[in-house]
């Protein structure tokens, strides 16, 4: 018997499903803790606008610099690809797209 599993990205703020290209995962840090949130493009813009005045008044201490133009994002970071490859080699179930389980990320980093 064949079985197909589908992964649907859902906006963590509104609970709405996110179609391909209609949203993304946003990573941010606050008070020493890092966070991820899946948002529709509309909520990504709202999130960015809300933080903009604080970002303008702050100092960058790490992370990548913004380059000219809006280069399309690839399939994610190289670490994400490495985590997926490692998880598959360990027999762990990991979706080819979307968020990777925090447990899998932790196992990868503690290996």
Residue 107 placed within a domain: yes
Residue 88 placed within a domain: yes
Q: How many residues does the chain have?
A: 111
Mean pLDDT throughout 55-73? Answer: 67
Instruction: Identify the CATH number of the domain in which residue 19 sits.
Output: 3.30.60.230
Residue 28 φ then ψ, to 5°: -155, 165
Mean pLDDT throughout 18-35? Answer: 90
Is residue 30 domain-shared with residue 78, that is, in the same domain? no
Q: What is the pTM of this model?
A: 0.51
Mean pLDDT throughout 1-8? Answer: 87
Is residue 2 domain-shared with residue 44, that is, in the same domain? yes
The three-state secondary structure class of 36 is strand
The answer to whether 87 and 108 are in contact (CB under 8 A) is yes
Q: Which two tokens stand for residue 19?
A: 């179609």
Domain endpoint, select from 34, 61, 88:
61
Give the residue numbers spanning the domain of 97: 74-111
Q: How many domains does the chain have?
A: 2
């Amino acid at each position: 018997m064949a079985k197909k599993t589908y992964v649907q990205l859902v906006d963590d703020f509104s609970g709405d499903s996110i179609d391909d290209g209609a949203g993304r995962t946003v990573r941010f840090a606050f008070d020493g803790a890092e966070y991820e949130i899946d948002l529709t493009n509309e909520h990504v813009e709202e999130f960015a606008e809300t933080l903009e005045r604080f970002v303008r008044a702050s100092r960058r201490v790490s992370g990548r610099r913004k380059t000219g133009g809006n280069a399309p994002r690839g399939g994610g970071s190289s670490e994400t690809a490495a985590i997926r490859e490692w998880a598959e080699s360990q027999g762990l179930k990991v979706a080819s797209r979307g968020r990777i389980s925090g447990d899998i990320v932790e196992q990868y980093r503690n290996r």
